Structure 1
């Protein structure tokens, strides 16, 4: 046997017992996509009455598989989808296949239609966060190999988060997820260098994982939607903002949801829990600003995605800058590790640019939904922060508890403050934003991160207020008189800059933060920048 033939037999001849273990015992009709030599199907065929079909792109491997399976299609899976009848299979296996496809979402979405209503998808996907890959990339190495994580035929790369997003987008409910680990790498995540801490508390949990194993069920088999209650936040709108054509309270009247109206935000945790305990069916709490204009599918899509994965805790709709919901204001926020700030995602994009669910670090506070259990585990909103940073703080605490924040593409809202003519922040909002950023960084960032944020804000305040001194006299004459003229010009410019409302707000925020920090330090002995 030639070397190429030996390689093909080994490459396409794995039995995959860890995948077989995830296939439901009751499954009678099974489709093995990427069946190879048919070794996995051969084991499944040992059960009485089990019918196994396969799809294989390699002709030689497909012919070998046809000796073991009931039917084998030879060709690309994208080309074979039309050959499969809908609602045919109890289980579809896609082991080490999705990473080889140019568009795994479309293939997985189409395969879901071939499942029975209570059908199951079993998949295995490589983890690009595996330590050997990451350290090799840091060393400048990205060399493809004949097999393994950097197989030459791999077109897509996944992490734990992107695997979840892929299955949610295909309409699947992830019921089980496990890992194949490298025994040579310790599973305990090491601490990241002291200069980084925010969003790195679970950074290395998957560094020893080289493959994910997933079992997911078709969405039709998901239980009925959870009970929902609405917290309506009454806030004054921006000046000269157009009146909302469809206020958020219409959702409450049309859907007849229990409602809690709040004028002084945020409500206490006791208020929220008492509201939820009024009706024990309330499992999902939707918070809406009274000026929000939602689309028709807001409630149903949020309730649907709340059950796609038990780890989903907070859900955000897309926030749009126009009432027609054609141009995004943002889908949410991600923490920038280089700029040390929350950055909006999707600003200015159209809805088609973000068609799939995305895991976020935080979202906009105009409209969101929270599972009742998240309030129990995480607590309420921090009234010491402004509205925007209350949301960032709440999402971060939820993430530390294992709850994900997710953007729901089918849910869309418009808020008057997101209109292009209303995007200029007031000085009061700027003051609250700077103060909230510093308080949040002090609480959750490492000292190096906090110091970088404070230094950037202080540098911005100084360079925007204190003009540069030009010691060259503007004319020939007495150097002393020229220096006096420059000093007067500098003083006038300094007074003018200091009178600017934006600069005043920045300096006031820094002053208030330092004074509060001194009080906290003197009373508790905790150093600045340490949570």
Structure 2
């Protein structure tokens, strides 16, 4: 299964592994000393964080991609976060980043538990996670479609899918406190009438009280803090 999944990643273009999510970069705090970027790809985000005077380590599953990141970051290890032994010290990092990574894991709940000891008290997990409750997915599902794509919300390498509530359960279940949630919005007027009709159904049946906002949220950026 793992080899089959790896072959799907090899089909992706170089652009998939490049760049830095600005929504994550904007959440980096002054005074941080050290950050771990899990799924660091080619080191685009980590390099931008380093410019803020922070030491950045990375973990990347694919050797060819990691070889590029090694030229940019302070330390990069090649490995599968779900199965590898972590060589770090307890409470070493101010922040551990999962930038569009948790949805690619077989057991993201176990991984969050696994990395928790390496976060300083008061430090955080910073993550971006796609929203499967986006209106584009809801409409496709109501049409009987669950079609995987090369990239995006229905990326064929996604293994797990999250709504807002399940994201909160993921981190609170690991003993982390949600400090901040940013919604990255994506909306097209073509969905307007469809959303209005669905909202009326939700109102009638007293469900989905946040439907209109959830339906235009493409991605959640979450700060989950380890208690002091």
TM over 0.5: yes
* Structure 2 equivalent of residue 193 of structure 1: 201
* Structure 1 equivalent of residue 59 of structure 2: 55
Number of paired residues? 216
**Cα deviations by residue, 1:440-479 (Å, 9 ceiling, x for unpaired):** xxxxxxxxxxxxxxxxxxxxxxxxxxxxxxxxxxxxxxxx
Aligned pair partner of 1:164 in 147, 168, 176: 168
* TM-score, scaled relative to structure 2: 0.88
SS at match of 1:107: helix
* Structure 1 equivalent of residue 111 of structure 2: 107
In structure 1, distance between residues paired with 2:205 and 2:78: 50
- In the TM superposition, what are the counterparts of 1:20-169 in structure 2 within 5 Å? 20-48=25-53, 50-169=54-173
**Cα deviations by residue, 1:173-225 (Å, 9 ceiling, x for unpaired):** 10000111114257996332389322233333210111000012102x2xxxx
CA RMSD, Structure 1 to Structure 2 (Å): 2.2
The structure having more radius of gyration, on CA atoms, is: 1
In structure 2, distance between residues paired with 1:35 and 1:200: 35
Unaligned runs of 5+ in 1: 222-531
CA distance change for structure 1 residues 139 and 83 in 2, over 3 Å: closer, same or farther? same
- In the TM superposition, what are the counterparts of 1:46-445 in structure 2 within 5 Å? 46-48=51-53, 50-185=54-189, 190=196, 191-193=199-201, 196-219=204-227, 221=228
1:9 and 2:14 matched: yes
In structure 2, distance between residues paired with 1:27 and 1:181: 28
In structure 1, distance between residues paired with 2:58 and 2:204: 48
Higher relative contact order (CA 8 A, sep 6+): 2
- Is the Cα contact below 8 Å between 2:57 and 2:74 reproduced in 1? yes
In structure 1, distance between residues paired with 2:39 and 2:203: 45
* Structure 1 equivalent of residue 24 of structure 2: 19
SS at match of 2:213: coil
- Is the Cα contact below 8 Å between 1:9 and 1:37 reproduced in 2? no
- Is the Cα contact below 8 Å between 1:187 and 1:208 reproduced in 2? no
Unaligned runs of 5+ in 2: 1-8
